[in-house]
Amino acid sequence: MSDSAPRRRSSKGKQRPARDGATIQRPAGARGAQAAAAQEAERQRRLRLLAGGALVAIIVVVALIAFTVLNDDDASDEAVVIPPGAAEGSPAAGGASPEATSAAGSASPEASPTGAVASATGTVGHLLGDPNAPLTIVEYADFQCPFCGEFAREIKPQLIADYVDTGKVQLEFRDLAFLGQESLDAAEASWCAGDQGKYWEFHDTLFANQSGENEGAFARARLVEMATGIGLDVTTFESCIDGDTHEASVQASNEQAAADGVTSTPTLIIDGEKLVGLGSYDELRDRIEEALGNQ
Amino acid sequence: MSSATASKRHSATSSAATTGGFVARIPLIVLLLCVVGAGVAGYLTYTHYDESALVCSVGDCGTVQKSKYAEIGPIPIAILGLGMYAVVALTALARILRRGPLSFDGWTIASWAISFAGLLYAGYLTYVEIWVIDAICQWCVTSAIVTLLIVILESILIWRLLDAPE
């Protein structure tokens, strides 16, 4: 019992070294040898059990890891969806009703000066709507966040139709790209699309093509396919994303999110107050009306 | 002979109790660690499924939990952790109450093998967090440390049962 190290025994029934006797008392003679042999057999049995247990543990873990690595959900081969309003040559604002299109930007391309505004106003996002609108709503989102996607697809078109297109609200989209590499890649790519004046079309296309997180939905090939789909100059777009042209822009937006105390997406900032998470349109409308009343 | 066997088993099962307070308490400590671990794994399972919040939260745990390593097929690994703590807790309980189909040593070997598997996987996940995802989720690390402690404690019992077979 007081031994500090496990003993190694090569064969059963052999005469044991004397020092073992200190630990385990054995009767002398043939019965003693028999008991010792039984004891050794038991010890060997436990060692085998233990080795078996360890082996099973290792096999199970290796299998789990292999399953994770090999059964990788790969979204990079999925077909790219171009939202009707964002597609190249899609009808302009007057042609399609806002409800008929899932594209936020296409609802009001003429009335809304769009594009990056980092230099002009000191903000770090992209603007949609009348710059003289009485209220500006800031939206922080990550292109990979499923709730941001739901907001962009389900609620934002209605928000744009009711408030942005009517000149009551200017919308500013800011990146809070934090869900991994593809969040950063998608955000940078959106800025590259903005360089060509098609930020909102790309924004809508990204949200229409969400598929898991960091599983290839926003792999380079798919981003390029999206750019092609909305009619960007692909060579310019490719050199923009390959050169990490807007890495600093996204970084600045992320830093602004931290400065604004935004810790989750989607977060809307309406008249200085945060509306966190995906809520209902009614809730959003009430907040906007309240903010407009305060103006 | 049967009474001799019975007394031998009795002496074997109670050997831990008679040879040191700490060793005798290992099953109880393992049980408590399992409660802690299950709490952590339960919290991670909850946050994994927590769609009611309808947000993606900033923070390394959010990033880790959104990574492809957070699930094996459809099963969140937090649930696997929860299952491991539950099974190890059962082996600890069986040893404390001296119940169940296995002997004290049998439960110890089973518990050791299961927690060893857990430790190997936790080690892999910690490697992934540091070198692949580049984000550390403190709750995941807490769970890994709890598993490590369980394996160390079970190894002490294993050491003794190999050292002093019946």
Residue A136 tokens read as: 């500006």
In this prediction the pTM is 0.65
Q: Do A265 and B58 touch (CB under 8 A)?
A: yes
**Other beta carbons less than 10 A from residue B2's beta carbon:** 6
pLDDT at A101 over 80: no
Q: Give per-residue pLDDT as tens, B81-100.
A: 999 999 999 999 999 998 88
Q: Give per-residue pLDDT as tens, A63-89.
A: 988 888 876 667 888 889 999 888 765
Higher pLDDT, A116 or A262: A262
Question: Does the ipTM exceed 0.85?
Answer: no
CB A225 within 8 A of CB A97: no
Q: Does B15 touch chain A (CB under 8 A)?
A: yes
Q: Where are the alpha helices (DSSP H) in chain B?
A: 2-13, 15-18, 21-24, 26-49, 60-65, 77-97, 104-127, 138-163
Higher pLDDT, A39 or A90: A39
Q: Do A54 and B15 touch (CB under 8 A)?
A: no
Residue A86: per-residue pLDDT:
82
What rounded mean pLDDT belongs to chain A? 81
Mean pLDDT within B29-52: 88
Q: Do B124 and A147 touch (CB under 8 A)?
A: no
Higher pLDDT, B31 or B69: B31
Helix (H, G, I), strand (E, B) or coil at A151: helix
> Which residues of A are less than 8 Å from B113 in CB distance?
50, 53-54, 56-57
CB pairs under 8 A between A and B: 121
Cα angle at A143 between A139 and A144, to 5 degrees? 130
pLDDT category of residue A90 using cuts at 50, 70 and 90: low
pLDDT category of residue A231 using cuts at 50, 70 and 90: very high
How close B166 comes to chain A (CA, Å)? Answer: 6
As a whole number of angstroms, the distance between CA A152 and CA A159 comes to 10
Helix (H, G, I), strand (E, B) or coil at A82: coil
Q: Give per-residue pLDDT as tens, A144-174.
A: 998 899 999 999 999 999 999 999 999 999 9
Q: Do B56 and A264 touch (CB under 8 A)?
A: yes
